[in-house]
């Protein structure tokens, strides 16, 4: 596969952007090599600037659940653009998108639109602190909630320790208010003084250390301790919202969050995030309440139009079932191909999210995810890319199926995988 033009652009990008990119994982550090530059995308396919075609399982990191450049989404954005790209006043499209969100999420009575998932989680945490008048928050080892200061914190060893920042530039004082716990550890929840905690934030379908299913018992226990102590439960559904079911993880696990954060699919490929929940909590936001939050481009008409078109199409009957069937077909095929080649893998799937861990041990938390053979994953990734299949460029990211993928795409992918596994 020739990538001359991508290589030339990479030289230029490396002069202009730190690490050549505007978001770190795009740089392929997790798998080695350098990234291709995408010229265009349509349906389940990407074409790079050298004209190579790839079946895409990254889906712009989750938003492209209909496939790329869906005609209805493109048309909606074009129509909106003709009417003006931003007004800085309320616009009718905000209401339509909000109604679609509220219809899917019974726990959301009121919401606010923002411009990214990071903004949604950052604002939800400020709101939780303002509402409860408490400072400390709880998160889980390996869960990613965007790059806000108090969320860039990882776990220390074992139990509950107030932690150190994950990134330079985050004051240790911020991190000291963030407590980190281990996923799926019900007993660990007892070690926290919950009446000091403003909120706990969790990915109910963790997808930022590969895909790790949580047990329903664990999620119920978390709901119970937070309800009993007045700490708010923030379910970060930026990735799994509208992805694992119409009502996201809350539908799947029959859970009700106090606050929910959304992003990715809700913007149909344009920059959108949202957070919402009980009206009593949401009304603490400015202008009705004392918690400040604002955005020049929030509720942007183009972004709202893309979100509306995406959700209206996605909510048509049968689509989630179709995604399930396609993803099951792929995961069964990958597992079979790995077994044929004697490559130990641990395959996870929830709805249309999937992950192939290169380990023979079950993956139940961040520590077990990190036991995966990342070098081997890198080799597999490149062997697949050479065969025209674009998987996530890191062992610790998930794959996303779209409604544009066909059984034929999946057959091709499994065929490529059986060759790639043998090559390892
Ligand atoms: C992607 C992601 C975010 C951050 O969203 P951005 O739009 O990248 O800021 C937050 N939480 C989860 C669970 C995510 O997957």
pLDDT for position 124: 98
Q: Are residues 100 and 62 in the same domain?
A: no
pLDDT for position 254: 97
Q: Are residues 193 and 78 in the same domain?
A: yes
In this prediction the pTM is: 0.96
> If you measure from the C-alpha of residue 68 to the centroid of ligand 1, how many angstroms do you get, rounded to a whole number?
19
236 lines ligand 1 (CB under 6 A): yes
Domain of residue 213, CATH code: 3.40.640.10
Mutate to test the pocket of ligand 1, among 59, 125, 144 (most ligand atoms within 8 A of CB): 144
Buried-state track 88-102, b at ≥16 Cβ within 10 A, e below 16: eeebebbeebbebbe
Q: Are residues 164 and 224 in the same domain?
A: yes
Peptide bond into 287 cis (omega under 30): yes
232 close to 226: Cβ distance less than 8 angstroms = yes
Domain of residue 328, CATH code: 3.90.1150.10
Q: Are residues 82 and 186 in the same domain?
A: yes
What is the tally of structural domains in the chain?
2
> If you measure from the C-alpha of residue 280 to the centroid of ligand 1, how many angstroms do you get, rounded to a whole number?
25
User: Which domain, by its residues, includes 261?
Assistant: 71-314
Q: ∠ CA(47), CA(381), CA(15), 5° rounding?
A: 65
| Closest-CA residue to 387 (of 406, 411, 365, 370) | 411
> If you measure from the C-alpha of residue 122 to the centroid of ligand 1, how many angstroms do you get, rounded to a whole number?
11
Locate 98 and state its tokens.
């909000």
Which of these is catalytic: 45, 136, 139, 264? 264
pLDDT for position 418: 98
DSSP E strands, 188-237: 197-202, 232-236
Whole-number CA gyration radius for the chain = 21
- 264 catalytic residue (yes or no): yes
410 lines ligand 1 (CB under 6 A): no
- 390 catalytic residue (yes or no): no
Q: Are residues 110 and 207 in the same domain?
A: yes
pLDDT for position 155: 33
- 54 catalytic residue (yes or no): no
**Of 314, 331, 362, which one is at a domain's C-terminal end?**
314
| Closest-CA residue to 349 (of 323, 382, 367) | 323
**Of 314, 347, 365, which one is at a domain's C-terminal end?**
314
Q: Are residues 137 and 282 in the same domain?
A: yes
Mean pLDDT per 10-residue interval, the chain, length 424 residues: 97 97 93 97 98 98 98 98 98 98 98 98 98 96 89 51 71 86 95 96 96 97 98 98 98 98 98 98 98 98 98 98 98 98 98 97 93 96 98 96 98 98 96
281 close to 231: Cβ distance less than 8 angstroms = no
pLDDT for position 162: 54
Q: Are residues 75 and 209 in the same domain?
A: yes
**Of 271, 297, 314, which one is at a domain's C-terminal end?**
314
């Amino acid at each position: 596969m020739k990538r001359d033009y991508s290589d030339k652009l990479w030289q230029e990008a490396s002069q202009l952007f730190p690490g050549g990119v505007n978001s770190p994982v795009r740089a392929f550090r997790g798998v080695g090599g350098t990234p291709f530059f995408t010229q265009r995308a349509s349906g389940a396919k990407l074409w790079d600037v050298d004209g190579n075609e790839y079946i895409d399982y990254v889906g712009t990191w989750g938003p492209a659940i209909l496939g790329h450049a869906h005609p209805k989404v493109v048309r909606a954005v074009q129509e909106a653009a003709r009417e003006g790209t931003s007004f800085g006043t309320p616009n009718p499209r905000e209401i339509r998108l909000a109604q679609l969100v509220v219809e899917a999420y019974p726990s959301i009575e009121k919401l606010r639109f923002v411009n990214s998932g990071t903004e949604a989680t950052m604002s939800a945490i400020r709101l939780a602190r303002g509402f409860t008048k408490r400072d400390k928050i709880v998160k889980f080892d390996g869960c990613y909630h965007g790059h806000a200061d108090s969320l860039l914190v990882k776990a220390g060893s074992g139990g509950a320790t107030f932690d150190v920042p994950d990134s330079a530039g985050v004051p240790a004082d911020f991190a000291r208010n963030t407590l980190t716990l281990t996923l799926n550890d019900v007993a660990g929840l007892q070690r926290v003084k919950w009446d000091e905690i403003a909120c706990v934030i969790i990915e109910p379908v963790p997808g930022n250390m590969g895909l790790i299913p949580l047990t329903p018992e664990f999620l119920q226990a978390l709901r119970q301790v937070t309800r009993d102590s007045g700490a708010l439960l923030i379910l970060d559904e930026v990735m799994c919202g509208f992805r694992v079911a119409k009502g996201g993880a809350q539908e799947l696990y029959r859970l009700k969050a106090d606050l929910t954060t959304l992003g990715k699919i809700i913007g149909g490929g344009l920059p959108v995030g949202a957070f919402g929940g009980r009206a009593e909590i949401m009304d603490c936001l400015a202008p009705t309440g004392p918690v400040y939050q604002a955005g020049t481009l929030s509720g942007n008409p183009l972004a709202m139009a893309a979100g509306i078109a995406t959700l209206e199409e996605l909510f048509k009957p049968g689509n989630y079932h179709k995604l399930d069937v396609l993803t099951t077909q792929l995961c069964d095929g990958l597992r079979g191909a790995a077994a044929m080649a004697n490559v130990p893998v641990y395959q996870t799937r929830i709805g249309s999210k999937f992950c192939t861990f290169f380990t023979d041990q079950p993956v139940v938390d961040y520590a077990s995810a990190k036991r995966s053979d990342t070098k081997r994953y890198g080799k597999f990734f490149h062997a697949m890319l050479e065969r025209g299949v674009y998987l996530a460029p890191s062992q610790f990211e998930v794959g996303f199926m779209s409604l544009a993928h066909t059984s034929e795409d999946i057959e091709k992918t499994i065929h490529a995988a059986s060759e790639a596994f043998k090559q390892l």
